[in-house]
């Protein structure tokens, strides 16, 4: 398999930083010198900027009424709430859409609306507000209005039909707006041309949270939530917004950093029976705030699981129930769904990689497109996460699609810095495909009769734009670090940079001229646990790819790129080595 999928080129570099600015941060903020170097390298060169980054403060969140369309949306919804009108909140079946739905439905109900949550079924209804699904919503629920969360910005025809049938429509969405926008609806999307809202990277749940805040600030006092009471209410909703924001892999900068910090801290005391049961099933210790890693790899997959293989309503009910017994039952059902999801995902990944080992040509293929059928286990609900796994193995953007009922549809994930959405959008338009998503992840469905032409066109388009620099792995060290600086105090200081994620990775340090005696204990498939030494200091380390270095070439002096963390088992700081090069070759 290694020879079939040659690894990408690795580019190593050290961020420049202003030594004077770092020294100023040490003096003014009292932070450890390595942390100051990281901050300066990441552009936080003044004490006020650095202080604000290290102390994410809910008071720094922007005024929700600064978002285009917010005034009109609030006016319409406050009027509906005061009259107890029926409003359908139309969501999406992933963690972001489910969280957004829970946030806004809870708020509208608190303000008096007859708020009805609606989640499409992934297989029967497909993604987003489609005409057939819209008609069912209007016929079955007869709402006065529809509010979409985490979808709707591309639903031009369905929204036109809803407006013609007399419903008001409010779209809240964070996906890239198309050239043609829905007419007759209020649109809340900070990415819209002309929107002056200063932060563009909110997740769908983040926008729902901002709309909820605006509604409560405008009309909360009527239901006993005065200005003082709004903050704890929003803190409670921030717990759900934090899960959704991390799950949707938006940059953890700006308002996202504040919402996630606030929400994760609050989850140390979840209070909600559903969140309590979910955290317990995700092995998050009671009384402990979950980390971003906990959310991304334990909590979010569970919330996503029911929507991937059946219906997402279980996850929505889990987030909104006040019944502890019901919460435990739902958590158990979701756990079973997640186990089944993993099995299905592994089957698709194995099938795709098995084929690609025989057919993939690195010099030819700039895009991987593989298809299967439901009978072969290619369930559309797992194709996105399976595509991500395949992309991480073949080091190319990947589309995994299922042939079903006259359509070929599924998901795509990028690799490296390839702009998947931007590059694929013109191809999708040429073949009249249903298409949406963002830079790194897309959903697509094309008529089976047009699929072969679409596939050829897509592969040719990516081949023409081939840029192997997009696929290279860039390891950018934030700052140099001496072995003697690796202390428990440094680990504590570095914790102030959390939460880590897109846009705010864990700090990566360059440690030069560390000695390795060549010994190491194997861990995992290619990993080693070892001890490195520099300046008379012994450093425990683990490197998950160091086992690939031939044993005869291990002993010597190395420059390493590593993260620093407290090893819970050893009770002292340890390195996680991402890369090692012989010192003499540096």
51 and 76 in one domain? no
Phi, psi of 443 (to 5 degrees): -120, 145
**Is residue 321 a part of any domain in this protein?**
no
**Is residue 250 a part of any domain in this protein?**
no
pLDDT in tens, 480-516: 999 999 999 999 999 999 999 999 999 999 999 999 9
393 and 481 in one domain? no
Residue listed under structure tokens 């919460």: 327
pLDDT of 2 higher than 50: no
Strand partners, 372: 402
**Is residue 106 a part of any domain in this protein?**
yes
pLDDT in tens, 291-339: 999 999 999 999 999 888 889 999 999 999 999 999 999 999 999 999 9
Of 212, 234, 256, the residue that ends a domain is: 234
At residue 584 the predicted structure's pLDDT band, cuts being 50, 70 and 90, is low
How high is the mean pLDDT of the chain? 95
166 and 104 in one domain? yes
pLDDT of 532 higher than 70: yes
* Distances 274 to 94, 227, 265, 318 between C-alpha atoms, Å: 17, 27, 17, 5
423 and 493 in one domain? no
Could you tell me the CATH number of the domain that includes residue 128?
3.90.1640.30
**Is residue 537 a part of any domain in this protein?**
yes
pLDDT in tens, 253-270: 999 999 999 999 999 999
**Is residue 411 a part of any domain in this protein?**
yes
Number of H helices, E strands in the chain: 20, 19
Segment 488-491 long-range contacts (CB within 8 Å, at least 24 positions apart): 488/566, 488/572, 488/573, 489/32, 490/32, 490/34, 490/35, 490/564, 490/573, 491/564, 491/565, 491/566, 491/573
Length of the chain, in residues: 586
413 and 554 in one domain? no
* Side-chain half-sphere exposure of 182, counting CA atoms within 13 A: 29
Which residues constitute the domain of residue 111?
68-234
Segment 496-500 long-range contacts (CB within 8 Å, at least 24 positions apart): 496/31, 496/35, 496/54, 497/35, 497/38, 497/54, 498/261, 498/291, 498/292, 499/246, 499/252, 499/257, 499/260, 499/261, 499/264, 499/291, 499/292, 500/252, 500/292
Of 471, 499, 532, the residue that ends a domain is: 471
39 and 166 in one domain? no
**Is residue 270 a part of any domain in this protein?**
no
At residue 586 the predicted structure's pLDDT band, cuts being 50, 70 and 90, is very low
Could you tell me the CATH number of the domain that includes residue 51?
2.40.50.460
pLDDT in tens, 17-40: 899 999 999 999 999 999 999 999
Could you tell me the CATH number of the domain that includes residue 446?
3.10.310.30
**Is residue 379 a part of any domain in this protein?**
yes
364 and 439 in one domain? yes
230 and 81 in one domain? yes
pLDDT in tens, 42-54: 999 999 999 999 9
74 and 221 in one domain? yes
At residue 4 the predicted structure's pLDDT band, cuts being 50, 70 and 90, is confident
Q: What is the pLDDT of residue 78?
A: 98
pLDDT in tens, 516-525: 999 999 999 8
**Is residue 180 a part of any domain in this protein?**
yes
At residue 125 the predicted structure's pLDDT band, cuts being 50, 70 and 90, is confident
The DSSP symbol for 497 reads G
463 and 399 in one domain? yes
226 and 97 in one domain? yes
pLDDT in tens, 387-409: 999 999 999 999 999 999 999 99
Sign (positive or negative) of CA dihedral 532, 534, 539, 545: negative
540 and 465 in one domain? no
Structure-token pair, residue 414 = 């990028």
Q: Which residues contact 485 (CB under 8 A, 6 or more apart)?
A: 32, 33, 34
pLDDT in tens, 7-20: 899 999 999 989 99
Of 194, 215, 234, the residue that ends a domain is: 234
Whether the CB-CB separation of 457 and 365 falls below 8 Å is answered with no
- Domain tally for the chain? 3
């Amino acid at each position: 398999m290694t020879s079939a999928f040659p690894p990408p080129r690795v580019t190593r570099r050290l961020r420049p930083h202003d030594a004077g600015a770092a020294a100023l941060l040490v003096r003014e903020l009292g932070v450890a010198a390595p942390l100051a170097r990281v901050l300066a390298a990441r552009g936080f060169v003044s004490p006020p900027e650095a202080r604000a980054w290290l102390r994410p403060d809910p008071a720094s969140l922007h005024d929700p009424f600064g978002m285009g369309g917010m005034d009109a949306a609030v006016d319409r919804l406050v009027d509906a709430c005061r009259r107890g009108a029926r409003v359908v909140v139309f969501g999406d079946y992933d963690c972001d859409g489910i969280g957004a739905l829970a946030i806004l439905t809870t708020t509208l109900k608190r303000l008096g609306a007859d708020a009805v949550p609606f989640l499409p079924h992934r297989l029967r209804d497909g993604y987003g507000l489609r005409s057939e699904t819209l008609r069912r919503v209007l016929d079955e629920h007869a709402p006065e209005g529809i509010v979409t969360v985490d979808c709707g910005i591309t639903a031009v025809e369905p929204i036109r039909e809803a407006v013609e049938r007399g419903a008001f429509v409010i779209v809240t969405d964070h996906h890239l707006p198309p050239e043609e926008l829905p007419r007759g609806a209020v649109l809340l999307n900070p990415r819209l041309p002309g929107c002056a809202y200063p932060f563009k990277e909110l997740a769908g749940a983040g926008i729902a949270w901002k709309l909820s805040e605006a509604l409560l600030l405008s009309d909360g006092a009527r239901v006993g939530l005065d200005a003082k009471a709004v903050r704890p209410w929003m803190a409670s909703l921030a717990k759900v917004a934090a899960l959704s924001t991390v799950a949707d892999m938006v940059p953890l900068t700006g308002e996202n950093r504040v919402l996630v910090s606030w929400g994760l801290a609050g989850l140390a005391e979840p209070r909600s029976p559903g969140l309590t049961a979910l955290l317990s099933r995700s092995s998050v210790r009671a009384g402990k705030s979950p980390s971003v890693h906990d959310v991304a790899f334990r909590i979010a997959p569970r919330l996503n699981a029911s929507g991937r293989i059946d219906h997402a309503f279980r996850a929505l009910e889990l987030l909104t129930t006040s019944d502890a017994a019901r919460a435990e039952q739902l958590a158990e059902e979701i756990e079973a769904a997640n186990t089944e999801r993993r099995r299905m995902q592994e089957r698709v990944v194995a099938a795709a990689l098995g084929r690609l080992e025989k057919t993939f040509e690195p010099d030819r293929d700039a895009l991987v497109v593989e298809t299967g059928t439901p009978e072969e286990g290619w369930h559309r609900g797992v194709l996105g996460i399976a595509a991500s796994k395949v992309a991480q193995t073949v080091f190319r953007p990947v589309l995994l699609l299922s042939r079903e009922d006259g359509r070929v549809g599924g998901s795509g994930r990028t690799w490296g810095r390839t702009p998947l959405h931007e590059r694929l959008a013109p191809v999708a338009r040429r073949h009249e495909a249903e298409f949406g998503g963002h830079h790194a992840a897309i959903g697509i469905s094309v008529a089976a009769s047009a699929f072969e032409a679409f596939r050829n066109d897509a592969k040719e388009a990516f081949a023409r734009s081939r840029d192997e620099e997009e696929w290279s792995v860039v390891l950018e060290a934030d700052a140099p670090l001496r072995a003697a600086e690796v202390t428990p105090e440094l680990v504590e200081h570095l914790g102030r940079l959390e939460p880590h994620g897109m846009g705010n990775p864990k700090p990566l340090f360059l440690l030069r001229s560390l000695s390795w005696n060549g010994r190491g204990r194997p861990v995992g498939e290619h990993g080693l646990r070892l001890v490195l030494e520099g300046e008379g200091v012994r450093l425990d380390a683990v490197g998950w790819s160091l086992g690939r270095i031939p044993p005869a070439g291990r002993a010597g002096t190395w420059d390493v790129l590593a993260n620093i963390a407290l090893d819970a088992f050893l009770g002292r700081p340890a390195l996680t080595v991402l890369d090692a090069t012989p010192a003499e070759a540096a």
